[in-house]
A and B are shown apart, each in its own frame.
Chain A
Amino acid sequence: MLYRESGQYKTSYTADQAIFPIREDRIGMAILLIVALAIPFLVSDFFLNAIMTPFLILALAAIGLNILTGYAGQLSLGTGAFMGVGAYSCYKLTTIFPDTNIVILVMISGLFSAGIGVLFGLPSLRIKGLYLAVTTLAAQFFLEWCFIRIPWLYNYNASGAIEVPERRGFGDIVLTGPSAAPMTQYFIVLAIVVVVTLAVKNIVRGRIGRQWMMIRDMDIAAELMGVRPLTAKLSAFAVSSYLCGVAGAMFIFFYLGAAEPSAFSITLSFQILFMVILGGLGSLVGSFFGAAFIWGLPIVLRAGLPAVGIGVGAETVFHIATMIVGALIIFFLIVEPHGLARLWSLGKEKLRVWPFPYG
């Protein structure tokens, strides 16, 4: 009733090929965008700083991994390290060019990550599946080693950590550093994530994205039809690492404020991988669902369990939250192996015929 596309006729190819061809979807997106813009004025700083901003950043990282694993079919365990490359290059860039706007530097730092990603993507031309996962694991460990052992990367800081300096831009607004307002940082992250997601959506719908999917579904057939595996696979690695790099730079500059190499450990790689698997392989909206689920649920449980009187010690709440998240992951994988994105599209199908399913 509410969500029905009948009667919406497309009279041009442009209208037919739009990202959101259905009017209700466009309205939904507009509402979502308004909500996203209104949220900072409605919620506490804690909610904004500890939930919304990292959620958006991790969603972008999940999109990055989804390009590689979900669209191009190349399993990667090096996401955390690629995020690290973005963070460290952004840190180096901003110390070398302190006057350049940090948003520009964040976008540029993704390029370094893309370069490293292409380099470690080269083995994918020869090896597939689990074996490729092992080589990306090697990238993870090697890059982590670099972050610890190459002091130039962290400007010879005695603690081996990178600390985000204060940077201003867009007039004299504080963008990074401890005195930046959570709202400013949220809006910057939101803008970057929205713009990049739109760009990625268009790449995925276009020629390049179709090549990736052909490679994923059957690489020999794709090759016979004229897709070059070299460009297809390496472009997937490049785009994926670029997104991860941008996400990593934002993670440090707009969320954590300082980082030790352990922030980019294998744990982060797995966290992102879980987001992708749970959200849905090969789906952009799924990346957002996955990120919200994996990042948000433990915080909601930790804040919510004591509020309803469950759990005594902080560590008990922590254990319970971990167990619930683990159980839910297994539950979802059994009930809906295609992830939350599939649930979402099923919901839309149902909604389309509601309230007369047999009509």
Chain B
Amino acid sequence: MRLKCLIAGTVLAGTLAGAALPAFAADELHVPLFSYRTGPYAGSGIPIANGMHDYLTMLNERDGGINGVKIRITECETGYDTQKGVECYEQVKNDGALVISPYSTGITLQVIPKASVDKIPVLSMAYGLSAAAEGNTFPWVFNPPDTYWDGASAIIVDIARREGGEENLKGKKIGYIFLDAGYGREAIPLLEQLSSDLGFELMQYPVAGKEMQNQSSQWLNIRRDRPDYMIMWGWGAMSPTAVKEATKIRYPMDKFYGVWWSGGNDDAAAGGDAAKGYRTLNFHGVGSDFGAIQDIKKYVVDAGKSEVDPAKFADNLYNRGVYNSMLIAEGIRKAQELTGKTVIDATDMRNGLENLDITEDRLKEMGMEGFALPMKLSCEDHSGHHKVYVVEWDGKDWQKSGDWFSPDVEMVKPLLEKAAEEYAASNAPWPERTEPCLN
């Protein structure tokens, strides 16, 4: 009996040791994806994870990888939990990971200080720490195409447009309902600044993570306060609940704005017909009328290599996952071009992301014409503060409303610089940038 236990134990320990130290194969590109298909944020996490996975799989199937090198895609389930996220990070760090996509602002905040030590770039696409856009302070962190502060600024720009100018915002009341975590708080400093600059009153309605499906008290307050506009920073189960509650108190939906992350199809659909007019920001195309999306359908979904529910193929958050993976793939391609090698490491990847320059021609080549705008990063600017546009919910799908427009970059930029300085000061001794600039 004891002998059996001993053998079983040895086998188990052996498996563990084998699993903890996977063999490092040289001729591949390891792209780990931190995903959450479980837990209260799975509603948003599943389409993102599918989109990211499927685009990379499509590159493997259609082109045999990037410049002939296969991409090894691994998923690590975080459940949007920071503890598990750190565990995932430790797991992939020594496994040749080229880039980290934490997909959670909380996890991003944890890995930012580690990234510069372990020399692995973090790509937090339009989430995470806004100040990380300052490439000279955060050489290893990227948040293209826009930071949260750009997002908050863009919403105010759009509101000002509808009101006929920034001066008309004076005396208006703007409500901010947000997930009370690192993610939702990220936009507060900018909104407070804008409120004192433009003279509107900012009213905050925090929603605690564990009570995000019970927002009746917040919306009762909103009904009492009657803000002229509402802005939401919601994620997971919070967004559909908020949309539902907004329709319940008959809040005018065309005055209800969500950040890009609150723009899932399921989020808006929760409000039924009454949710028509709900607006969110966006920075990529909706629908499946794009060459690249059609290729995913052909090579991945129809071939049964995807986990996506066919009815939810190419919905808004799925396309965002595709966009995110496109940035990763382009970063790899750029790194290969810069180094002349096909198999790159994480340091090359950082250079690739920093020199990312996706032109109109390149978009056409990828079958993404009209799906995204050209974008360019530099050593100083790791976000780019690109243009965004507003989509409106028509009861069935998202429709483009108005043209692409730019956030108030002149206003956001100095604040970001200040925030980056503050971050470095409060985390002293923060390492100086030693990485050479190639552009």
Residues on A close to B: CB < 8 A? 43-47, 49-50, 148, 155, 157-161, 163, 165-166, 177-179, 255-260, 262-263, 265, 299-300, 303-304, 306-308, 313-315, 317-319
Q: Which of A46, A160, A161, A314 contacts B20 (CB 8 A)?
A: A46
Q: Determine whether the beta carbon of B114 is less than 8 Å from that of A159.
A: no
- Chain A residues with Cβ under 8 A from B182's Cβ? 159-161, 260
| Contact indicator per residue, chain B 101-132, by CB within 8 Å of chain A (1) or not (0) | 00001100110011011100000000001000
- Chain B residues with Cβ under 8 A from A178's Cβ? 113-114, 116-118
Q: Determine whether the beta carbon of A314 is less than 8 Å from that of B76.
A: yes
Q: Which residue of A lies closest to B108 (CB)?
A: A159
Excluding A262-B106, A300-B16, A319-B38, 12 further A-B contacts by CB distance (< 8 Å) are A43-B17, A46-B90, A163-B113, A177-B113, A178-B117, A257-B113, A262-B181, A263-B83, A265-B210, A303-B19, A307-B19, A315-B38
Of the candidate stretches B159-167, B183-191, B228-236, B347-355, the one touching chain A is B183-191
Can you list 8 residue pairs at the A/B interface with Cβ under 8 Å? Answer: A157-B426, A178-B117, A256-B86, A258-B113, A306-B19, A313-B307, A314-B35, A314-B77
How many whole Å from B104's CB to the nearest CB in chain A? 10
Chain A CB within 8 A of B79 CB:
yes
Chain A CB within 8 A of B437 CB:
no
Q: Which residue of A lies closest to B37 (CB)?
A: A315
Within the assembled complex, what's the spacing in Å between the Cα atoms of A299 and B75? 15
- Chain A residues with Cβ under 8 A from B106's Cβ? 161, 260, 262
- Which applies to chain B's interface (DSSP): helix, strand, loop or mixed? helix
Within the assembled complex, what's the spacing in Å between the Cα atoms of A43 and B77? 24
- Chain A residues with Cβ under 8 A from B204's Cβ? none
Within the assembled complex, what's the spacing in Å between the Cα atoms of A258 and B18? 30
Within the assembled complex, what's the spacing in Å between the Cα atoms of A163 and B129? 13
- Chain A residues with Cβ under 8 A from B114's Cβ? 178, 257
How many whole Å from A310's CB to the nearest CB in chain B? 11
How many whole Å from B102's CB to the nearest CB in chain A? 12
Chain A CB within 8 A of B96 CB:
no
Chain A CB within 8 A of B82 CB:
yes
Complex A-B, nearest 7 residue pairs according to Cβ-Cβ distance, in ascending order = A303-B19, A315-B37, A314-B75, A159-B182, A178-B113, A314-B77, A318-B77
- Which positions 292-337 of chain B face chain A at CB distance < 8 Å? 307
Chain A CB within 8 A of B343 CB:
no
Q: Determine whether the beta carbon of A258 is less than 8 Å from that of B109.
A: yes
How many whole Å from B437's CB to the nearest CB in chain A? 23
Output the residue of B83, B181, B208, B427 with the most chain A CB within 10 A: B83
Chain A CB within 8 A of B421 CB:
no
- Chain B residues with Cβ under 8 A from A158's Cβ? 185-186, 188-189, 419
Q: Which residue of A lies closest to B188 (CB)?
A: A158
Q: Determine whether the beta carbon of B109 is less than 8 Å from that of A159.
A: yes
How many whole Å from B198's CB to the nearest CB in chain A? 20
Q: Which residue of B lies closest to A148 (CB)?
A: B180
Q: Determine whether the beta carbon of B18 is less than 8 Å from that of A307.
A: yes
- Chain B residues with Cβ under 8 A from A319's Cβ? 38
Q: Which of B20, B35, B118 contacts A44 (CB 8 A)?
A: B20
Q: Which of B15, B109, B116 contacts A304 (CB 8 A)?
A: B15
- Chain B residues with Cβ under 8 A from A148's Cβ? 180, 208
- Which positions 196-217 of chain B face chain A at CB distance < 8 Å? 208-210
Q: Determine whether the beta carbon of A259 is less than 8 Å from that of B82.
A: yes
Q: Which residue of B lies closest to A258 (CB)?
A: B110
Within the assembled complex, what's the spacing in Å between the Cα atoms of A179 and B80? 25
Q: Which of A45, A159, A260, A308 contacts B129 (CB 8 A)?
A: A159
How many whole Å from A237's CB to the nearest CB in chain B? 26
- Chain A residues with Cβ under 8 A from B110's Cβ? 256-258
| Contact indicator per residue, chain B 234-266, by CB within 8 Å of chain A (1) or not (0) | 000000000000000000000000000000000
Q: Which residue of A lies closest to B42 (CB)?
A: A315
Within the assembled complex, what's the spacing in Å between the Cα atoms of A307 and B188? 45
Within the assembled complex, what's the spacing in Å between the Cα atoms of A300 and B38? 19
Output the residue of B17, B109, B117 with the most chain A CB within 10 A: B109
- Chain B residues with Cβ under 8 A from A262's Cβ? 82, 106, 181, 209
- Chain B residues with Cβ under 8 A from A157's Cβ? 426
Q: Which residue of B lies closest to A260 (CB)?
A: B106
Chain A CB within 8 A of B21 CB:
yes
How many whole Å from A293's CB to the nearest CB in chain B? 13
How many whole Å from B24's CB to the nearest CB in chain A? 12
Q: Determine whether the beta carbon of B15 is less than 8 Å from that of A44.
A: no
Within the assembled complex, what's the spacing in Å between the Cα atoms of A317 and B427? 37
Q: Determine whether the beta carbon of A263 is less than 8 Å from that of B37.
A: no
Q: Which residue of A lies closest to B53 (CB)?
A: A313
- Chain A residues with Cβ under 8 A from B105's Cβ? 159
Within the assembled complex, what's the spacing in Å between the Cα atoms of A161 and B16? 33
Q: Which of A46, A263, A307 contacts B91 (CB 8 A)?
A: A46
Q: Which residue of B lies closest to A157 (CB)?
A: B426
Within the assembled complex, what's the spacing in Å between the Cα atoms of A256 and B111? 10
How many whole Å from B187's CB to the nearest CB in chain A? 10
Q: Determine whether the beta carbon of B16 is less than 8 Å from that of A303.
A: yes
- Chain A residues with Cβ under 8 A from B35's Cβ? 314-315
Q: Determine whether the beta carbon of B426 is less than 8 Å from that of A155.
A: yes
Q: Which residue of B lies closest to A304 (CB)?
A: B15
Chain A CB within 8 A of B402 CB:
no
Chain A CB within 8 A of B340 CB:
no
Within the assembled complex, what's the spacing in Å between the Cα atoms of A303 and B91? 10
- Chain B residues with Cβ under 8 A from A179's Cβ? 117
- Chain B residues with Cβ under 8 A from A299's Cβ? 87
Q: Determine whether the beta carbon of A260 is less than 8 Å from that of B82.
A: yes
Q: Which residue of A lies closest to B36 (CB)?
A: A315
- Chain B residues with Cβ under 8 A from A256's Cβ? 82-83, 86, 110
Q: Determine whether the beta carbon of A50 is less than 8 Å from that of B90.
A: yes
- Chain B residues with Cβ under 8 A from A257's Cβ? 86, 110, 113-114
How many whole Å from A172's CB to the nearest CB in chain B? 12
Chain A CB within 8 A of B429 CB:
yes
| Contact indicator per residue, chain B 21-41, by CB within 8 Å of chain A (1) or not (0) | 100000000000001011000
Q: Which of A45, A155, A161, A318 contacts B90 (CB 8 A)?
A: A45
How many whole Å from B265's CB to the nearest CB in chain A? 21
Q: A50-B91, A159-B105, A256-B110 are in contact. Are A313 and B37 (CB under 8 A)?
A: yes
